[in-house]
Amino acid sequence: MSTRRGIGLRVRNAMEGHLEHAKEEGRPEAPGGQNPPRGALLDYYPPAGVTGPVTLDIVSGAGKVIRSYSSEDPALTPDPALDPDAYNQVCQQHPEATDCGLPLYWPAPQARLSARAGMHRFEWDMRYQPIGERNVAEEGDVAATGAVPHRSVHGPFAPWAPPGRYTVRPTVAGRRPRRTRTWGLDLTHPGAPGTVVWDRSSENRYADPGRPLLVPDAPGRDVLQQSPDGKGIYLAGAGASPTGEHPFLARFNLDTKKSDVLFQSVGSVAVTTTARQKWKRV
């Protein structure tokens, strides 16, 4: 507004300066978006009736376990991020305890495996096993650098894992179920949820549905080879059985999730065009 000619007066909300200062400090009352997770997200599904611990091993391409998590790993109780009122009482009795030197809106919820039945999501920070013994009750405060309200974690205690191929190996009550799950996505509807195409034990070779056949598209990228009606794809597999391997070629219907075997070898031969004279049509 203008009080008189040549003099301007800005009317500000009483909270405006406070919010600007809060934003600079990263306090939660300042509006802001969420950063993505820091690592790789792992989904796992413990079955009902589990009485033992659940563990997750991260295995390198060389077959070496580089990181292990367990549902019995030590953790702060109560969790300062999930129950700050209860943890504040811990801080009053033990001011030197973990995360007690800063407001409790800074710490992120602790990453813990759950052994309860159902779907769970866990985050691997993509680092090797921490070096040395960890005492969760004496870890100090979260680092100020890069701190985000309700998302701040303690500094790393191990180096990064290099780029490569890793296998997540779960153990449930001492058993190691190995399953592979294949999802189908409709790229014409990016927001549509995916559908499970196959969910099977990766150790059961007899039930292996085969691998999809790929063909190059106009730009030279490999894409799924579809049936003429556009409703199916083609699969080629080893055809493992009690009598040996019998390679096959099948057409898989994307709607019904059923396969029709088109050709199958009567002997153990490679799935090639030159081997078709040794195949029998099913």
In this prediction, residues 144-151 reach a mean pLDDT of 68
Q: How does residue 85 score in pLDDT terms, banded at 50, 70 and 90? A: very high
pLDDT tens column, 95-143? 999 989 888 888 888 888 888 888 888 889 889 998 877 778 778 777 6
Give the rounded percent of residues in the chain with a pLDDT score beyond 90.
23
Could you give the number of structural domains in the chain?
A: 1
Q: Is residue 194 part of a domain?
A: yes
Task: Give the model confidence (pLDDT) of 36-50 as tens digits.
Answer: 667 888 888 887 877
Give the per-residue pLDDT at 29: 55
The answer to whether residue 187 is domain-embedded is yes
Residue 216 belongs to a domain: yes
Considering only CA atoms, which of 189, 240, 178, 233 is closest in space to residue 211?
Answer: 233
Q: What is the structure's pLDDT at 5?
A: 44
Q: Is residue 262 part of a domain?
A: yes
∠75-77-80 over CA atoms, to 5°? 95
The verdict on residue 164 lying in a domain is: no
Transcribe the chain into DSSP letters: -EEETTEE-----TTHHHHHHHHHHT-TTS---PPPPSSEEEEE-PPTT--S-EEEEEE-TTS-EEEEEETTS---SS-TTT-HHHHHHHHHH-TTSTTTTS-TTSBPPP-----SSS-EEEEE-SB-PPSS---GGG-----STT--TTTB-PPPSSPBPPSS--EEEEEETTB---EEEEEE--TTSTTSPPEEEEEEETT-GGG---EE-EEE-TTS-EEEPBPTTSSEEEEEE--EETTEE--EEEEEETTTTEEEEEEEESSS--SSGGGGGGEEE-
Where in the sequence is the domain holding 228, given as residue range(s)? 178-282
171: in domain: no
Q: What's the alpha-carbon Rg for the chain, to the nearest Å?
A: 28
- Mean pLDDT value across residues 85-100: 92
Quote the Cα angle for 92-97-98, to 5°.
Answer: 125
Whole-model pTM? 0.53
